[in-house]
Structure 1
Amino acid sequence: MASSIPHIQACRMYWTVHLEGGPRRVNHAAVVVLDKIYSFGGYCTGENYQRKRPMDVHILNTGNYRWHALPTPEYNDVTKTTVPYQRYGHTAVEHEQKIYIWGGRNDEAACNRLFCFNPDTLTWSSPKVSGMIPAARDGHSACVINNQMFVFGGFEEQMDRFSQDVYALDLRTMVWRYIITQGDPPSYRDFHSANAIDDRMYIFGGRGDVYGPYHSQEELYSNSIMYLDTATGVWHQPRTTGDIPLGRRSHSAFVYKNSLYVFGGYNGLCDEHFNDLYQFSPVTNTWTLMQTLGKPPSRRRRQSCLVVGDRVFLFGGTSPYQGQMSYQVIEDLYNEGIDSKLMDHNDMHILDFAPSLRTLCAMIVINNQLDYSSLPEELRWELRVMVTPNSISRPLNNTG
């Protein structure tokens, strides 16, 4: 049971940069290669996701915080191309500086074809795979351990059910295999998270159902954390202490210095979005509610969080709409099939685990709107990129 008084940990973690104007994407997949972040697909409310069109790719330079979109190729027959179609609920992993996209769906069907993106050439391929290929699905998870991409859970398109199975793709031989595990696995679920720490795959959160694999609208949100020892194939459920998070789905989970962190997400039973940050220690099996400095992101779900050095880059997702809208705007959104209660984000936040004195001084200058025109050009450039919005997408104009 979670304690009634949270262990709020004082620390130097600081939300620093917040920029608008990036790709407005929800339920996308993103990965880090060297010092760049690559974001693939996802959706934006109101767009057409029935027809098949090439997946969009956005690249973030983490040095100057600038996004740019790759040109989208044109094609007619998606069954003959090596470019994946636009989708959501898919996964992206990095292995030997190449990116592998698997699963996901558009509004018509899910996919189980493997795609590979080469950041050096900015080109796609579709590697030939063999073995026991998992059924098409979305809302699954994937992580790489010892040259293998482990896939867990998700919602299977053909069987119309949640999954609790584990598959592994050997990224050297491109052979899929079904993993026979021992012990009680995590319950059937989708939109959970999976993270690799050493040889373990940690599973947290997600949406399940009281009827197990079948979707009856009676949802479950587990807050238990479990891990698969990939060396032995045995599932474990450690006994945890501390500030155990409320169950949630569509959250972000990332690993920093061998600790697992969980940000945000959504619980449908209480209809609540989150912007809290928890740390889980795999050594002590303790959860800790983290206290951060600076202004945190708004409550949201289906965003991405990527670790680059000592910083976490968070972008995209969707939140309850906070502003005021005129009747005409609400009517226009309704006519377009858009839920006016939610808004899709195009912003980016950076959480710095170890901010330097230089960064802290820059935050003072920015937050107090101090004149920095007399500073050296290098410092002025740094301050400019920290406050200059991107121009990939336009701001929402929902006010009446």
Structure 2
Amino acid sequence: MFCWPVHLKGLKKVYHAAVAVGHKVYSFGGFCLIPAVSDRRSYMCMYICYMDPIDVHVFNTVSLRWIKLPPATAAGSGELPLEVSYMRHSHTAVLIGGVVYIWGGSTYREHSNVLHAFDVGTHVWFRPRVSGAVPDSRYHHSACVLGKVMYIFGGFNLLTRYTNDIHKLDTATMAWTFVNTRDTQAPATTCHSATIIGKSMFVFGGRGDQDKAQYNIVRVFDTETNRWLSTPSAQLLPEGRADHSAFAYNGELYIFGGDNFRLGESVNDLWKFNPETFSWTKVECKGKGPCSWMSKMCCCMVGDRVVLFGGHSCTPIPVHDRDLEDEDDSEVCDLYILDLTPSLKTLCKLAVIQYGLEQSELPHDIRWELAAMATDSNRKTNMSVLASSGPTKTKRQRTSSRQWDSRKGKTRRSLPLKRFPSFRWERKQGTGT
């Protein structure tokens, strides 16, 4: 049984890249969308400065709080050194041996094929010296890791537009290699997902170059034979989509969200794919999950939990599901955590928040966790004050103080609860980042 135990305000980002390092999530780059003057729903402008160093935000999954790392500049000059990645979007980030490798991406002025590296232990940027056949610059590609090798597939570049080539980088030798798939080919794809399970790369979804077709089938690439495998057709298929999220868990592939242009909307469904039976199953989760506007978000596995944040929607977000001060009705700054193995403690905390139960007699650490789960992660809040505060009783709670007495066949009023400093468990109007 999966559940959504955490919903906070996160980063207002689109087409960013992130990796999980221990109990932390590192987010790199991306951009914010601002509405065009003429028609803000049909055309969006990009807010990004390609001369700035890429921004790095770190989310602590224990304290449920974000921090932003100081920007990296050359000593004493204030200029961006060559070792530091510049601001970009639609790039990829992978973690290999304590180093995050950033590759590809775009600023809408230029595309990149330069490899940048970020040491998560020292927070130092550097540019590895690479050899071999470096791939053409591109964005909206995918990157996944098998051992110490990073695989790049697909994407969009200025030469061939939609691509279907595979390249790999061996980080032990820092050598690029073009992967010859021989007589097997996959359709040219962008905005897809690629996930390693065992020795194979599972590619799902994305947009193609034929009338912007969207795919809803799984293609499997065998990294040992360097061939695309012929796969059987599944009877039950999720809707085709692009800009979705994907992760592997217990040898199975999961996909969530994405944009479906055939339906003209973003989706928020979760599907599970079994590689052995080659079958799909729709997964239902407990708790309040994301509304149907999650696409272009980041997805990271932290133990048995999945952290999703940021994103954008191809349909306007309802007023009650976005920040009221924002003019943009399609951008998301929410953060959700999907617990794949929720404990009894997690389920109990969800019930406390959902039903507004009294917290004054709970242990201090439990009250702190409850406060962290239900407050804006961008607010600089005194957590000790929140933890010592009880929720203000809602109208439903006040009316529920009259309980049914089965012995007398009528309602009776329960004893009044002790009042504490007021703190309302409600959706906050976060400012984003």
Q: Same fold (TM over 0.5)?
A: yes
Aligned pairs for 1:292-307 within 5 A:
292-299=285-292, 300-307=294-301
When structure 1 is superposed on structure 2, of 45-54 and 311-320 the one drifting more is: 45-54
- In structure 2, the CA distance between the partners of 1:237 and 1:248, relative to structure 1 (3 Å rule), is farther
Moved more, 234-243 or 273-282: 234-243
Shift of 1:53: 0.9
Map Cα deviations across residues 213-243 of structure 1 (whole Å, 9 max, x no partner).
xxxxx21111121111101101014214243
Relative contact order higher in (CA < 8 Å, ≥ 6 apart): 1
Offset at residue 77 of structure 1 (A): 5.8
Alignment of 1:196-207 (within 5 A): 196-207=196-207
On the 8 A contact 1:50/1:108 being kept in 2, the answer is: no
CA distance in 2, matches of 1:289, 1:242: 13
Residues 89-122 of structure 1 deviation map (CA, whole Å, 9 limit, x = unaligned) = 1001111121111000112011000011111111
- Separation (CA, whole Å) in 1 of partners of 2:245 and 2:230: 20
Residues 33-53 of structure 1: CA deviation (Å, up to 9, x unaligned): 111111100111136335421
User: Structure 2 length as normaliser, TM-score?
Assistant: 0.80
Contact 1:23 1:392 in 2 (8 A): no
Bigger Cα displacement from structure 2, 127-136 vs 51-60: 51-60
Determine the C-alpha separation between the residues in 2 that align with 1:232 and 1:392.
51
Tell me the equivalent position of 1:102.
Answer: 103
TM-superposed CA distance for 1:123, in Å, is 1.3
Shift, 1:380, TM fit: 1.2
Structure 1 residue 344: deviation in Å?
1.6
- What SS does the corresponding residue of 1:318 show, helix, strand or coil? coil
Q: Which residue of 2 is the match for residue 66 of structure 1? A: 65
Question: Do structure 1's residue 322 and structure 2's residue 317 form an aligned pair?
Answer: yes
What SS does the corresponding residue of 1:380 show, helix, strand or coil? helix
Partner of 2:113: 112
Residues 306-355 of structure 1 deviation map (CA, whole Å, 9 limit, x = unaligned): 11111111111012333459xxx99x96xxxxxx5x42211111111111
Runs of 4+ in structure 1 off by over 6 angstroms are: none
List aligned pairs for 1:51-62, cutoff 5 A. 51-62=50-61
Verify: 1:30 aligned to 2:29, yes or no: no
Q: Retained in 1: the 8 A contact 2:73–2:79?
A: no
Q: What amino acid is the match of 1:67?
A: W
Partner in structure 2 of residue 310 of structure 1: 304
Q: Is the 8 A contact 1:69 1:392 kept in 2?
A: no
1:291 to 284, 295, 308: 284
State the match for 1:14 in structure 2.
Answer: 3
1:387 counterpart = 2:374: yes
| Preserved CA contact (<8 Å) 1:50 1:107 | no
Aligned-residue offset at 1:395:
4.0
Q: Would you say the 8 A contact 2:32–2:48 is kept in 1?
A: no
How does 1:207-356 map onto structure 2 within 5 Å? Answer: 207-210=207-210, 218-299=211-292, 300-319=294-313, 320-323=315-318, 340=328, 342-356=329-343
Change (3 A) 1:125 1:225: same
Q: Which runs of 5+ in 2 are unaligned?
A: 35-45, 381-427
> Corresponding residue for 2:137?
136
CA separation in 2, counterparts of 1:252 and 1:263?
Answer: 5
Q: Shift in Å at residue 60 of structure 1?
A: 0.8
Letter of the 2:97 counterpart: E
How many Å separate the matches in 2 of 1:247 and 1:53? Answer: 36
* In 2, Cα distance between equivalents of 1:72 and 1:365: 40
**In the alignment, residue 277 of structure 1 is paired with which amino acid?**
L
Provide the rounded CA distance (Å) in 2 between the counterparts of 1:51 and 1:146: 32
Match of 1:295, as an amino acid? K
CA contact (8 A) 1:251 1:264 kept: yes
Judge conservation of contact 1:182–1:235 (CA < 8 Å) in 2: no
In the alignment, the residues of structure 1 paired with residue 82 and residue 340 of structure 2 have an alpha-carbon distance, to the nearest angstrom, of: 42
Equivalent residue number for residue 402 of structure 2: none
Root-mean-square deviation over aligned CA pairs: 2.1
Name the counterpart of 1:9.
none
Q: How far apart, CA to CA, are the structure 2 residues paired with 1:77 and 1:139?
A: 28
Query: Which deviates the most, 255-264 or 40-49?
Result: 40-49
Q: Are the structure 2 counterparts of residues 151 and 133 from structure 1 closer, same or farther at C-alpha, using a change threshold of 3 Å?
A: same
Identity of aligned residues (%): 40
Of the candidates 16, 37, 40, which is equivalent to residue 28 of structure 2? Answer: 40
The separation in 2 between residues aligned to 1:123 and 1:246, in whole angstroms, is: 42
Compare 102-111 and 381-390 and name the one that shifted more.
381-390
Give the superposition deviation at 1:249: 0.6
Q: Deviations over 1:173-192 (max 9, x none)?
A: 10001000134322011110
Q: Distance in 1 between matches of 2:259 and 2:363?
A: 45
Q: Which amino acid letter does the alignment assign opposite residue 70 of structure 2?
A: P
2: CA distance, partners of 1:346 / 1:199: 35
* Residues in 2 aligned to 1:269 and 1:313: alpha-carbon distance in whole angstroms: 28
Counterpart amino acid of 1:195?
T
Whole-angstrom distance in 1 between the partners of 2:347 and 2:239: 32
TM-score, structure 1 as length reference: 0.87
- Are the structure 2 counterparts of residues 392 and 177 from structure 1 closer, same or farther at C-alpha, using a change threshold of 3 Å? farther
Aligned residue in 1 for 2:360: 373
Structure 1 residues 168 and 322, CA gap change in structure 2 (3 angstroms): closer
